[in-house]
A and B are shown apart, each in its own frame.
Chain A
Amino acid sequence: DTGVSQNPRHKITKRGQNVTFRCDPISEHNRLYWYRQTLGQGPEFLTYFQNEAQLEKSRLLSDRFSAERPKGSFSTLEIQRTEQGDSAMYLCASSIGTAAETQYFGPGTRLLVL
């Protein structure tokens, strides 16, 4: 497998702008997860999909955050009206089926909001 990929790797934006990040999971994985990691902290769960269904989104940080996985393959995470507090590393992970399976992480997208 080629691993989980994320694009872009780095994003600098001005406060108030919208940003979108993309995640391509490992091809046979039907679960896809988004996490946020701020400096000096462990990753924090945001949301996850099983195929194209978003099964948990209550942990998204605000209504400015949204995620999609329209065809059950790649996913996008959008942040509208960015704030400086959104500066963080956004990590994507994927896994096969069951909850006990290992989540494999991508390299992350580092966002800096000026």
Chain B
Amino acid sequence: AQSVTQPDIHITVSEGASLELRCNYSYGATPYLFWYVQSPGQGLQLLLKYFSGDTLVQGIKGFEAEFKRSQSSFNLRKPSVHWSDAAEYFCANNNAGNMLTFGGGTRLMVKP
């Protein structure tokens, strides 16, 4: 069965610092990969997605992610974090064709 792993449960960064959130997936075929963000009490908002083509994808709010097949990774990055980026971030895989399989999430805290 496919799985998605987010190794970091919590990350704290200073405002203005760079950010990288890790995501590893396990599945043989080319996956459909997503990053979502969830603010407290809210639903999930799509940040970006990868289906094929260029392995570096740009998303909303200045986020980007890079698909690395050799490492089975799809890490999320942002060059300069803003206080409003504090939220929970979920990586997900739709390789099965119908359902999203989510990682456990990474909670981002931003220090002033």
Contact = CB atoms under 8 A, between A and B. Distances in A.
Interface of A: 4, 33, 35, 40-45, 48, 55-56, 59, 91, 93, 99-100, 102-108, 110
B2 to A, nearest CB: 11
Interface of B: 4, 32, 34, 36, 41-46, 49, 51, 90, 92, 94, 97-105
A45 B99 contact: yes
A107 B32 contact: no
Contacts of B98: 48, 55-56, 99
B47 to A, nearest CB: 11
B81 to A, nearest CB: 22
Contacts of A44: 102
Contacts of B103: 42
A43 B90 contact: yes
Contacts, number: 57
24 contacts: A4-B43, A33-B99, A33-B100, A41-B105, A42-B4, A42-B102, A43-B44, A43-B100, A44-B102, A45-B99, A45-B100, A48-B99, A56-B99, A99-B94, A99-B97, A99-B98, A100-B51, A102-B34, A102-B49, A103-B100, A104-B46, A105-B36, A106-B43, A107-B43
Contacts of A99: 32, 94, 97-98
A42 B104 contact: yes
Contacts of A41: 104-105
Given A100-B94, A110-B41, 10 more contacts: A43-B90, A55-B98, A56-B98, A99-B32, A99-B98, A100-B32, A100-B51, A103-B94, A105-B43, A107-B41
